[in-house]
Structure 1
């Protein structure tokens, strides 16, 4: 294990450890990415989770860094992953420009994640599905239906995210929304509210 990955050791899955520090190092020196990537397959659950966390943070600043790793990310997405890994992976997937041969497998894997037990994973999958629309515009109606379904029956976090996504997609809400979902006292019920989903 290299020096960079050793910084991700120690503690348990409840702590991100030094993942932020590692991410900053890689952003400052992208050549260090080659030292971080082996952590995605680490036998240590702690190192593995933190490597995904660090890589996701790197990809926010340097999304182009993920492009050569598309095949690796697709393989990882197709494997069984703990929720702590999966939600980071789902955030990275839309930052890769997928080829026509890869995209169907990517979309299928994201759709499967919408059925995961973890609400956070499902919320990340919903966001990923919307973020992938530019790469699969023909599926926009299907994605909108999925978002509207979550607005009707999802967890509070998913309903909050669904409202914001519908605004971004410039789509009206579907009908038959159960009472108690819409914020009261707003002249425009789906106005953006502060706070994350």
Structure 2
């Protein structure tokens, strides 16, 4: 393809979005000459919807081969291009995203983006493409497997035949541990309500033969002690733990409002999955009545925002 014709001209067909155009030729030309990638990416923002659609199609075809030249455009594809609401652009971009080499921060944004596209029911094809892209991302990132399993579960529970069928096809080769998959496939239950406890907490480690420390106050709102053959572990207010005691400080707790019936299962999975999507580390503990999920103090707002998609979150008064 001659450069003087321009990729936009080659992709333009008078605004007819149903026409195939010169997509294969454009894709081959750009794959052979990656220096033309900026021109193709620019076509994603053309004023002609048909050009945008065919540019996204060509870009996806280019990414099937050596996707490394596209890494330089990862940030723009995750921000400017991802903001394009045109369904045809989104479903092609969804296929491109897992083929990019992303930073950890970019990968987190990619997960949030695909989650948003999956939840948007305006286009079944975009939903299916987002589902496939999430599974493709998880194939190279074990931390994302619970996220992908959760999305597969929601797709299979959906009342959208095409989406459920796509999920079943994807699930067959998808490798995930049985417990994660079982939790993802649970039927929907009543919504959870989480309360954010106000205290900063610490988890202290004492020797297994130590008695209960004098600085521990059992009247505090949340106190826990667990003894094993290797340690005595104390969870309590951070201010109670003296300097010099081995401890992880700076935790905050989300309390699942209970009591919870012992027959319930998958409660922690429903909380852990959106937090994994937001890449928030957690520490979980259970009592007779309920469950608690602890996050770092600096992650509380981010965790609350992620959990609000699946739970009711009550801030401390």
Shorter-chain TM-score tier = 0.7 to 0.9
Superimposed CA distance per residue, residues 89-132 of structure 1 (whole angstroms, 9 cap, x where no aligned partner): 11101011210222221111110000221000000000111111
Summarize the alignment of residues 163-174 of structure 1 with structure 2, pairs less than 5 Å apart: 163-170=168-175
* Aligned residues of 1:19 and 1:51 also touching (Cα < 8 A): yes
Question: Aligned match of 1:119 in 124, 143, 146?
Answer: 124
Are residues 84 and 78 of structure 1, via their aligned partners in 2, closer, same or farther at CA, if it must alter by over 3 Å? closer
Moved more, 49-58 or 142-151: 142-151
Moved more, 139-148 or 164-173: 164-173
Rounded to whole Å, the distance in 2 between the matches of 1:80 and 1:5 is: 17
Residue number in structure 2 paired with 1:13: 17
Residue number in structure 2 paired with 1:160: 165
Rounded to whole Å, the distance in 1 between the matches of 2:172 and 2:46 is: 39
Summarize the alignment of residues 120-135 of structure 1 with structure 2, pairs less than 5 Å apart: 120-134=125-139
Rounded to whole Å, the distance in 2 between the matches of 1:61 and 1:110 is: 22
Residue number in structure 2 paired with 1:104: 108
CA drift of 1:135 comes to: 5.0
* Aligned residues of 1:94 and 1:128 also touching (Cα < 8 A): yes
Residue number in structure 1 paired with 2:148: 143
Rounded to whole Å, the distance in 2 between the matches of 1:103 and 1:59 is: 17
Structure number with greater Rg is 2
TM score, norm. by length of structure 2: 0.51
* Aligned residues of 1:63 and 1:96 also touching (Cα < 8 A): yes
Gaps of 5+ in 1: 178-197
Residue number in structure 2 paired with 1:3: 6
Rounded to whole Å, the distance in 1 between the matches of 2:140 and 2:158 is: 27
Moved over 6 A (4+): none
* RMSD of aligned alpha carbons: 2.3
Summarize the alignment of residues 66-81 of structure 1 with structure 2, pairs less than 5 Å apart: 66-81=70-85
CA drift of 1:34 comes to: 3.1
Q: Which has the higher strand share?
A: 2
Rounded to whole Å, the distance in 1 between the matches of 2:30 and 2:84 is: 27
Rounded to whole Å, the distance in 2 between the matches of 1:77 and 1:33 is: 14
Rounded to whole Å, the distance in 2 between the matches of 1:102 and 1:26 is: 25
Rounded to whole Å, the distance in 2 between the matches of 1:4 and 1:139 is: 36
Superimposed CA distance per residue, residues 14-43 of structure 1 (whole angstroms, 9 cap, x where no aligned partner): 123111221122223333323322111112
Q: Which has the higher helix share?
A: 1
TM score, norm. by length of structure 1: 0.80
Q: Secondary structure at the match of 1:101?
A: helix
Are residues 103 and 77 of structure 1, via their aligned partners in 2, closer, same or farther at CA, if it must alter by over 3 Å? farther
* Aligned residues of 1:2 and 1:35 also touching (Cα < 8 A): no
Summarize the alignment of residues 21-32 of structure 1 with structure 2, pairs less than 5 Å apart: 21-32=25-36
Q: Secondary structure at the match of 2:11?
A: coil
Rounded to whole Å, the distance in 2 between the matches of 1:19 and 1:131 is: 24
Summarize the alignment of residues 78-93 of structure 1 with structure 2, pairs less than 5 Å apart: 78-93=82-97
Pairs aligned (count) = 177
Residue number in structure 1 paired with 2:63: 59
Q: Secondary structure at the match of 2:64?
A: helix
